[in-house]
Structure 1
Amino acid sequence: MDVLPLVFTSGWASGINAYAVVLVLGLLGRFDGLTQVPPALERTDVLVAAAVLFLIEAVADKIPYVDSLWDVAHTVVRPIAGGVVAALIAGHGHQSLGALAAGALGGSTALASHLTKAGLRMGINTSPEPFSNIVVSLGEDLTVAALVSWALFHPVPAAITAGVLLALGLLLVCFTFSRIRRFWRRRKERRAARTAAPAAT
């Protein structure tokens, strides 16, 4: 198996939801007997911890502004998780790609997708209604689960899809930044107006 596409896809997915990646890989490896999955991810304690953390993230990630705070807290967690998963995949079965190189690729890809997700969420939080957060979060969870599962059977198409999603996300972030700046400018103006109102009276 060419490990590079799987490493890239798992890295991208870890930047979106690292706990879902560990959970999906572990469950598929344990119950479907997929040899590509490292045994360390199939352990019961790892699966339980990933499931609990996934449920916590599933709630936090759907609440406006809480999701952005959660993203800030996971700026270190997700890239590290992406690097560890990638290194385990590369080290499992003596793959040609070295564990150190795989860890660097998985971690950097996870960091890129994490920053993309965090930037897009900041833009979505400028919307006054909470439903967009729920829809986007559900879409992210489903995409991560589907893409990681697909990567185990068809790693190259899954990696291409992950690359396209990353590129599209980066483009959307560029467009979103102007919206974020306008939102914070309006908030600052409203706060200044409220401060000036008592002084005028």
Structure 2
Amino acid sequence: MVLELLTGTGLAASAGLNAYIPLLVTGLLARYTSVIDLPGGWQWLGNEWVLGILAVLLAVEVVADKVPVVDHVNDVVQTVVRPTAGGLAFGAGSAADTVTVSDPDSFFASTGQWLPVLVGVLIALGVHLLKSAARPVINATTAGFGAPVASTAEDATSVLMSLVAIILPVLVLAFLVGFVLFLPWFLRRRADRRRERRAAREAGFRV
């Protein structure tokens, strides 16, 4: 059960950064390799039409997320899309045979598809909210020049996380540890930023 949970968690977290990458990676690997074998209810992810649509949506997302202001609008729209994708990714990944999981635990199978999907939604939503909160800070402190850099790093992380979740899910633990360490630092940085802006306003500066 642990490896299935890590696989699903890694894919859902990846969806929190980019909704389409984990679904596309899962679908491509399922269709063209033996790395992952999706169960009957999830084999539609390997359909060529689904893969084509995901590729187009990914292209739009990659461009939109790298433009200041547009990236904020995109994040608002993705508040629904990324958690949904995370639920699908967790559901498919946790129920699939992979190179490290030859017989998915019956726990997820016995609960039906909705529980793993719900878990994936919550994981992806958490990552998405952190990403959405961090982007305005990055844009403000870099005059917008940090948006494409941050977005590219997020996309690369999403690809890497998707592959790791399927091929070597134990490494997902490293991401979870990093997330736990990063969150307090980010919250402190955000609080400091607010205090600086408040102090600047009180001093008569326009911010």
Q: TM-score, normalised by structure 2?
A: 0.80
Provide the rounded CA distance (Å) in 1 between the counterparts of 2:143 and 2:195: 17
Measured at CA, do residues 68 and 49 of structure 1 come closer, stay the same or move farther in structure 2, by a change above 3 Å? same
Q: Deviations over 1:145-190 (max 9, x none)?
A: 1111122111122x20231243244224303423553576558966
What is the CA–CA distance in structure 1 between the aligned matches of 2:19 and 2:133, rounded to whole Å? 17
What is the match of residue 163 of structure 1?
176
Unaligned runs of 5+ in 1: 193-201
Residues 110-129 of structure 1 show CA distances to partners (whole Å, capped at 9, x for unaligned) of 01000010011021121243
- The count of residues paired between Structure 1 and Structure 2 equals 191
Which runs of at least 4 in structure 1 moved beyond 4 Å after TM superposition?
91-95, 182-192
Distance 1:187 1:47, change over 3 A: farther
Write the mapping of 1:71-90 to structure 2, written as runs, cut at 5 A.
Answer: 71-90=75-94
- Contact 2:19 / 2:86 at 8 angstroms: preserved in 1? yes
1:107 counterpart residue number:
121
The one-letter code sitting in structure 2 at the alignment partner of 1:135 is V
2-side partners of 1:184 and 1:137: how far apart? 25
Name the amino acid aligned to 1:161: A
Match for residue 120 of structure 1 among 128, 134, 138: 134
Cα pair distance change 1:179/1:63, threshold 3 Å: farther
CA separation of 1:57/1:3 partners in 2, compared to 1, >3 Å: closer, same or farther?
same
Within 1, Cα distance between the matches of 2:194 and 2:206?
Answer: 15
Q: Distance in 1 between matches of 2:49 and 2:124?
A: 24
Which structure is larger by alpha-carbon Rg, 1 or 2?
1
Find the counterpart in structure 1 of residue 101 from structure 2: none
Structure 2, unpaired ranges of 5+: 98-103
1:40-79 to 2 correspondence within 5 Å?
Answer: 40-79=44-83
Deviates more, 1:128-137 or 1:75-84: 128-137
Report which stretch shifted further, 55-64 or 125-134.
Answer: 125-134
Task: Name the CA distance, whole Å, in 2 between partners of 1:48 and 1:171.
Answer: 39
Cα distance in 1 for partners of 2:141, 2:87 equals 33
Residues 120 and 92 of structure 1, relative CA distance in 2, 3 Å threshold = same
